């Protein structure tokens, strides 16, 4: 009896591979909604702690480090880039590691440990190198969280529901995006660093508890596939869901992936591959221009987000003499639009495909970004104008999140279906999202640097004009490649 109790405790904490004794709460811990909620909380925590310090970075550098005003913008951009640069380097390793482990939980928790260390250093560090180290640790955490979280999400809901699931998750985590800067500004002005640090630790506690409790579907099935108490109802529903998704995918993604015979030819990988390709099986898939375009869309999305993170606080300070609290408020219009429209755009991706949503969103951003040259230093009227334009930018940002992830997932899944032996039992999904995280983080690295340099040398309006041009090029690439080549171009080719 004591042995059985001990084994149940070990299984409950997922410290044993003995699948004869079920852990406590197996049914609800492996439930689809709980798994998706855990992923959402993990991504929320990453973005929340990232955004919590964005509006106070200039004031940390000025008040705590003692930097002169002419060095603030460049060092703000540098700290943002340090986070993203670390994520660029670590994301591929996170993907490879996750695909080689039996479960996602251990690397998921490892990422959280790095985030805890980053949070402590960030709010206690008194020198610039310590702040840089904190941002590097935060970037390492992001690499694991986004890579493993997105892979776990795809494995849980299936590709047919990925668009609306990602749209809903992004809508939820956008709360972190727009609440964190505002909350950070309020806490910094009212309670100082201890207040900001305290809310960060509280969010980390919730995240840690959920990551510790979650049990993946494939792990839950190992305990006893014949026992209905393993969450039979939920598993059956999920299996039926996957089946219906597969049928829906055959119908809805026909323009993207073609017929079964065409898939065999288009997605078949040669067995004669280099040693590097065998070590990283996802690499041969990068010969597909649709996958490369999907990754480019993620890069440009991050480029835009990095631009806003780096420039909104400094523009608020320069134009409106705003402190940390007011600077945080200017992030609200961006986040509210994303929060409301994210699930809607996600549904549209599942219903109508990635091409129309991505082309519309990037085309829409061209005039809106161009109009950001209109605000100038002034009073309330200029603050309202700037906030309104940021809200319009948020509409476009809400539409560019889901298409990249859904498109990349659909393409790589076809490679996996046609070449199952090449990718192994766990498939290529963690590697894919590791690659996606690397590209996204590269955009977050370049975005603040590009924004900071262009804003200082050419002005805020011209900087946004450059970003509008980048959106125009991206819209054209989305039209040509995402969701397959359009009929008009295919006809011209023939």
Which of 246, 291, 242 has its CA nearest to residue 431?
291
Q: How confident is the model at residue 257 (pLDDT cuts 50, 70, 90)?
A: low
CB 137 within 8 A of CB 211: no
Mean pLDDT, the chain, rounded, equals: 77
Percent of the chain with pLDDT over 90: 9
User: 242 pLDDT exceeds 70?
Assistant: no
Gap between the Cα atoms of 442 and 339, Å rounded = 24
- What was the pLDDT predicted at 241? 42
178 contacts 45 by C-beta, under 8 angstroms: no
Would you tell me the crossing angle of helices 128-157 and 72-100 to the nearest 10 degrees?
40
Residues 145 and 46: beta-carbon distance below 8 Å: yes
User: DSSP letter string over 380-426?
Assistant: HHHHHHHHHHHHHHHHHHHHSSHHHHHHHHHHHHHHHHH-HHHH-TT
At residue 55, the 3 state secondary structure works out as coil
In order of their start, the domains of the chain are 22-221+279-493 (1.20.1250.20)
Query: Cα(154)–Cα(98) distance, rounded to whole angstroms?
Result: 14
Q: Smallest Cα–Cα separation from 250: which of 417, 61, 384?
A: 417
Of the CA atoms within 13 Å of residue 260, those in its CB half-sphere come to 4
Closest CA to 406 of 466, 346, 494: 346
Cβ-count burial of 222 within 10 angstroms (0-12 exposed, 13-18 middle, 19+ buried)? middle
Global confidence as pTM: 0.70
Sequence-distant (6+) residues with CB within 8 A of 392 are: 337, 368, 371
**249 pLDDT exceeds 70?**
no
Higher pLDDT among residues 52 and 288, named by residue: 288
DSSP line for 118-158: HHHHHHH--SHHHHHHHHHHHHHHHHHHHHHHHHHHHHHH-
- Best CA proximity match to 260, nearest among 250, 252, 270: 250
CB 349 within 8 A of CB 357: yes
Specify the range with the lowest mean pLDDT, choosing from 125-129, 230-234, 362-366.
Answer: 230-234
Helix ranges (DSSP H) in 280-401: 289-320, 324-329, 332-352, 354-370, 380-399
Give the integer Cα–Cα distance in Å for 377 and 385.
11
What are the pLDDT digits (tens) for 184-239?
A: 777 777 777 777 778 888 888 888 888 888 888 877 787 755 444 444 444 434 44
Give the residue from 396, 398, 402, 408 showing the smallest Cα distance to 362. Answer: 396
């Amino acid at each position: 009896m004591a042995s059985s109790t001990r084994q149940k405790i070990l299984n409950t904490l997922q410290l044993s591979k003995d699948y004869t004794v079920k852990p406590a709460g197996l049914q609800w811990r492996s439930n689809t909604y709980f798994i998706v909620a855990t992923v959402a909380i993990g991504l929320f925590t990453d973005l929340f702690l990232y955004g919590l310090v964005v509006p106070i970075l200039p004031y940390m550098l000025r008040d705590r480090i003692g930097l002169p005003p002419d060095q603030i913008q460049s060092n703000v951009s540098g700290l943002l880039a340090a986070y993203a640069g670390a994520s660029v380097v670590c994301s591929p390793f996170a993907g490879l590691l996750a695909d080689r482990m039996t479960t996602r939980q251990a690397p998921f928790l490892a990422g959280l440990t790095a985030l805890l260390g980053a949070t402590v250093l960030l709010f206690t560090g008194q020198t610039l190198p310590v702040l840089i180290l904190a941002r590097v640790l935060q970037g390492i955490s992001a690499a694991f969280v986004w890579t493993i979280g997105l892979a776990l999400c795809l494995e849980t809901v299936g590709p047919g529901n990925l668009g609306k699931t990602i749209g809903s998750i992004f809508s939820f985590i956008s709360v972190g995006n727009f609440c964190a800067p505002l909350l950070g500004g309020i806490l910094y002005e009212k309670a100082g660093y201890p207040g900001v640090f305290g809310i960060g630790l509280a969010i980390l506690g919730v995240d840690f508890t959920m990551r510790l409790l979650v049990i993946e579907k494939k792990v839950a099935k190992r305990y006893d596939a014949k026992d209905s108490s393993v969450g039979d109802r939920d598993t059956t529903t999920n299996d039926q869901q996957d089946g219906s998704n597969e049928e829906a995918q055959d119908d809805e993604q026909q323009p993207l992936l073609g017929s079964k015979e065409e898939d065999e030819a288009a997605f078949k990988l040669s067995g004669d591959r280099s040693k590097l390709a065998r070590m990283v099986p996802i690499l041969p898939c990068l010969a597909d221009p649709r996958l490369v375009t999907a990754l480019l869309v993620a890069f440009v999305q991050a480029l835009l987000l990095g631009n806003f993170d780096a420039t909104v606080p400094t523009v608020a300070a320069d134009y409106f003499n705003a402190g940390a609290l007011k600077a945080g408020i200017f992030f609200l219009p961006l986040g509210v639009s994303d929060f409301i429209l994210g699930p809607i755009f996600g549904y549209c991706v599942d219903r109508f495909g990635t091409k129309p949503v991505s082309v519309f969103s990037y085309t829409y951003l061209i005039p809106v970004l161009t109009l950001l040259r209109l605000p100038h230093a002034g009073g309330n009227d200029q603050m309202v104008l700037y906030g309104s334009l940021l809200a319009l930018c948020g509409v476009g940002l809400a539409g560019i999140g889901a298409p990249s992830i859904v498109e990349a997932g659909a393409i790589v899944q076809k490679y996996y279906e046609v070449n199952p032996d090449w990718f192994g039992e766990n498939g290529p999904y963690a590697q894919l999202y590791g690659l996606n995280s690397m590209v996204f983080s590269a955009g977050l690295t370049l975005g603040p640097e590009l924004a900071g340099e262009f804003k200082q040398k050419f002005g805020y309006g011209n900087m946004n004009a450059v970003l509008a041009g980048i959106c125009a090029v991206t819209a054209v690439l989305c039209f040509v490649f995402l969701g397959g080549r359009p009929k008009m171009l295919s006809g011209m080719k023939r």
